[in-house]
A and B are shown apart, each in its own frame.
Chain A
């Protein structure tokens, strides 16, 4: 009989990036890379395990912007084109490396990987990756949960209607994609603001997560610390992140992904190879970018990188999975020595860490799930809903405001580089609420304009823009996205209020910012009946 539980949570999210106005758009590569390197490899692991009869339970959040992109025809076709180019490049690499056996093996490996991805994506999944996730959910392996409608950072929103709309549409879209309403939510950036749980309750969400201090600093003191959920006064359960297991995977210095045998992310042939040769496979402007073909291992703190050896890396992934499991067993044994119930250890990670950054991550996960299934009795994989079924009685506490960002609060998203956005976001939300209250039952063009205004606000609210401004990677892009969406929202507001909607422009926006075609602007209405309408919708589905 197990002594405690491990809850692995993978949070999959990408901001909505789709630019029909250009044939190639650098930032669209984020999705393409994540599909090839993270989503397909993870699905492959999950499906293989299921096929072999290995029992497991994994919690996964798939955010509405990511789901929307996976559902989008234009992006699906562009991804296939992108893959075709990669397959062509990998074939050339097989030729080019014929006298370099260590590289040649990897060139074949990439060629196989890309060819497999094409088959998996185009043939097996008919270009839609939402379907295999749904299948794994229905078969009882994955518990799929949602996040904010566009991953908006909730604690920095001023209007309750804005927070509610993020939750409302997320639950609605998730239900459409997966055929059942989500039981839990991954709050964007794990950022919890006391009181937001009441909104979660209104939408039937039973649990969410906080960072470790969200629970540890809850009031009154939580009896089990991070190793059991607490109920907020609203009745929604909050699970705290375990830092020990997080550190083993996340930490740049001590974490597994930094092992010298693992693949080096920063040596990509997009940067390494001769310019004219690689030029057809990088950005059309001539800017060198990552292709995904990488031949080196981390090697050490040196620039003199050695060729990657997949056997060594695989061996390490197995060792690290064993180490992770051993540490969880010890941790749970220690906890059970003084807690009067079976503890739950919650380990959440960004899904894109697996495969994209940590190339061997999916393999590690594969080993870990197998080992937990076959090699031990102490721990069992569960989802938060499973745990709540085992322990329906929990302490009532109010968790503390917190996030999983650097320093644990709101600073990553509110500091010198990005604090200027909030007056605009707040103003945008205020006007959207005003619009929804002014026009409770709009029809025709007016209704379309109102829906589009809501889309623009949601897109502007993505926490990704503030995060990019802070980290300084593609700052101009993030600044422009914020300006564009708020600018469009204000433009629509003025046209609607002035009764002079420019239909041609509206049509352009509908085509360009086409996220959530079914969005109903009335989710911004201040009236309490929004909730009831939602319940009607849930019944209808």
Chain B
């Protein structure tokens, strides 16, 4: 969007754009201010709009995308004037990596090397058509049970996937595909992670024995004091959803957020009074008894908020040698009906 294009838009159209970019105090801006603000946003990053769209797209499960390039669809824009080395869309290695989001979700991302992609092309016509699957190995921590697994079929071009899991379990995934005969062929194996527990540990320390009742009290101090033992864990998880700090004010972005916009239509009106003039550059000038600084050319400007009422404003200029004095006294009255 160029400045010219912005200039052609109506204020309403500009406003709705400004809303999209969360420009503060947009509803109070004049058209030229809106254009200036929007122009700055566009200048700062010409690909903002795409970033927004892609971020939104990334929230949903990815749609099958069969693009010509190798770039997975969910990557944000890579354009930046100063960067001599844009972010690559692939690092040319076949890997899968697991990260923990919370006790119930893992995040997996993957990438393919050129050779593997070529192989997949040979087998399935296009690598994006590979019946790709994540084989998720799951083991309960220190249970001694054999690990089990489940498969999640994924879109190869998506590049990443969120996997629903259980708290306090150990996970590893294998990235692979199913052959036409139904056999799983692994391409890469991930790191191993352990999801955090979502409740208090069952394990009690003999030396630091704690009475059930006392532990519940301690737990209640953090969760909901009203909750009974059954709802305790649930209440606690809910508690974590309250915004209490963090996320850090680090960016100096708001921890509280601005007040909700409750009204759609409104008007603010203020009046200010500007008194300006000129005298000999060497003169001394007072306004209502207060000295006023002159510019080098002898001009001056004085600006005041003008509330309702009657005002007399004597302005006096006095020559450098003190021999000549001129006073001009405007009188203003303002009434808001």
Contact = CB atoms under 8 A, between A and B. Distances in A.
A225 to B, nearest CB: 3
B200 A221 contact: yes
A423 B109 contact: yes
Given A349-B245, A423-B111, A471-B253, A487 B83 contact: yes
B295 interface: no
Interface stretch (B176-184, B256-264, B278-286, B323-331): B256-264
B304 A412 contact: no
B110 to A, nearest CB: 9
Interface string B223-247: 0000000000000110111111111
Interface in B49-102: 51-52, 55-56, 58-59, 74-78, 80, 82-88, 91, 97, 99-102
A126 interface: no
B297 interface: no
B2 to A, nearest CB: 15
A395 interface: yes
Given A99-B304, A480-B80, A243 B222 contact: yes
By size class, the interface of chain A is 35 or more
Contacts of A480: 45, 80
A445 interface: no
B36 interface: yes
Contacts of B218: 216, 224-227
B87 A486 contact: yes
A435 B147 CA distance: 37
Interface stretch (A310-318, A436-444, A462-470): A462-470
Contacts of A95: 302-304
B251 A468 contact: yes
B337 interface: no
Contacts of A479: 45, 51, 76-77
Nearest to A247: B244
B10 to A, nearest CB: 20
A528 B330 CA distance: 82
B222 A423 contact: no
Contact of A420 (B76, B204, B207, B251): B76
A217 B196 contact: yes
A30 B251 contact: yes
A331 to B, nearest CB: 8
B253 A473 contact: yes
B40 A287 contact: yes
B248 A417 contact: no
A412 B102 CA distance: 10
A285 B248 contact: no
Contact of B259 (A15, A222, A266): A266
A331 B40 CA distance: 51
Given A414-B101, A488-B83, A353 B255 contact: yes
Interface string A296-336: 00000101000000000000000000000000000100000
Given A223-B205, A338-B214, A409 B100 contact: yes
Contacts of A250: 243-245, 255
Nearest to B52: A475
Contacts of B302: 95
A401 to B, nearest CB: 4
Looking at chain B's contact residues, the main secondary structure is loop
B58 A288 contact: no
Contacts of B25: 271, 288
A473 B41 CA distance: 12
Contact of A219 (B39, B86, B201): B201
A243 B288 CA distance: 56
Contacts of A216: 200, 218-219, 222, 236
Q: What interface size band does chain B fall in?
A: 35 or more
A98 interface: yes
B101 to A, nearest CB: 5
A100 B305 contact: yes
Interface stretch (A111-119, A138-146, A251-259, A369-377): A251-259
B130 to A, nearest CB: 19
Contacts of B221: 225-226, 242-244, 331
Contact of B245 (A226, A246, A484, A487): A246
A42 B222 CA distance: 29
A494 to B, nearest CB: 7
A190 B245 CA distance: 11
Interface in A145-166: 151, 155-156, 158
Given A400-B196, A416-B58, A486-B87, A356 B97 contact: no
Interface in A186-224: 189-190, 194, 212-213, 216-224
B203 A416 contact: no
A352 B252 contact: yes
Nearest to A331: B221
Interface in B187-222: 191, 194-201, 203-205, 207-210, 214-215, 217-219, 221-222
A349 B250 CA distance: 11
Contacts of A92: 303
Contacts of B205: 220-221, 223, 395-397
25 contacts: A15-B251, A189-B247, A216-B236, A219-B203, A221-B200, A221-B215, A250-B245, A252-B243, A265-B256, A285-B36, A286-B37, A303-B266, A331-B221, A350-B245, A350-B248, A395-B207, A401-B195, A422-B99, A422-B107, A471-B254, A473-B22, A477-B45, A479-B51, A483-B83, A490-B87
Ranked 10 nearest A-B pairs via Cβ: A225-B218, A476-B45, A219-B201, A491-B85, A409-B102, A408-B240, A401-B196, A286-B36, A404-B246, A473-B253
Given A244-B222, A472-B22, 19 more contacts: A97-B305, A100-B307, A189-B247, A225-B218, A277-B272, A283-B40, A285-B36, A286-B36, A352-B252, A357-B254, A395-B208, A405-B247, A406-B241, A410-B101, A420-B75, A423-B91, A464-B251, A484-B80, A488-B83
